[in-house]
Amino acid sequence: MAKLSVNINKIATLRNARGGGVPSVVHAAINIQQFGADGITVHPRPDERHIKYADVYELKPVVFTEFNIEGYPDERFLKLVEDVLPTQVTLVPDAPDVLTSNAGWDTVKHKQFLTDVVTRLKERGMRVSLFMETDVKQIDIARETGADRIELYTESYAAQYVADRKRLLPLCGCRQSCSGYWHWFKCGARFKFAELSLFSSKIKNLLEVSIGHALVADALYFGLANVVGMYRRELGLRV
């Protein structure tokens, strides 16, 4: 069954809006794990508009589940993950000013660069995931870089699910090309529990669901402890 990793970037966004240390991302991470999450995800960006690089160092001692750090692999980011040594590093092709991750890697164009980075991180014992779209050719080349998993960009599916459930089909088809290694990113507040349940039942080699914005938004209505349990139930996980 797929594991649930919670992205706590939006908790950092709320903290940064007021300044100071409330809400605490460290306390949030501890509580989220105690509520049943299988992992914590963060995505520090160059402008540190939500998770700060200092946060990542502070989170390392308290993450007792899987720690996943996402980001563009420039030297500053690579130094960070080599210092912290998370369970997984997810490489994304974000420009510095992008609001949120909105495109997958062009592995044809960047194959050698990605191969070099993947090799460097795996030599230090980290699992590596690549942020990808559902182009089978691109996914095949992603596997050739040595990456352990891919993370599927699903915003268009989430946005159009209600109008057309066939949007799931490209995701079901592309899973065939990656020999069982899957890491999926749920993106967009419109992606509700029913869609998550259907998605997880159809994508057979789904290993991980990493959820941030939607889960934190739902927590405003239902409470963080309740929402972690609700998402786990939709994934078929024991609560």
CATH number at residue 27: 3.20.20.70
Distance between CA atoms of residues 160 and 52, nearest Å? 33
Asked if residue 227 belongs to a domain, the reply is yes
pTM: 0.87
For the residues 210-217, what does the mean pLDDT come to?
89
How many distinct structural domains can be found in the chain?
1
For the residues 75-96, what does the mean pLDDT come to?
93
What pLDDT score does 181 carry? 43
Whether residue 122 has pLDDT greater than 80: yes
Phi/psi for 88 (5° steps) reads -140, 145
Higher pLDDT, 183 or 220: 220
What pLDDT score does 103 carry? 74
Asked if residue 185 belongs to a domain, the reply is yes
Q: Please, how many CA atoms are within 13 Å of residue 197, restricted to the half-sphere of its CB?
A: 8
Tell me the residue range of the domain where 9 lies. 3-234
Tokens of 146: 């040595």
Asked if residue 239 belongs to a domain, the reply is no
For the residues 60-65, what does the mean pLDDT come to?
98
What pLDDT score does 34 carry? 98
For the chain, give the mean pLDDT: 83
Distance between CA atoms of residues 164 and 47, nearest Å? 37
Neighbouring-strand partners of residue 185: 210
Asked if residue 78 belongs to a domain, the reply is yes
What pLDDT score does 112 carry? 98
Beta strands in the chain (DSSP E): 3-7, 39-42, 66-71, 88-91, 127-132, 149-152, 183-186, 208-211
What pLDDT score does 26 carry? 98
Asked if residue 116 belongs to a domain, the reply is yes
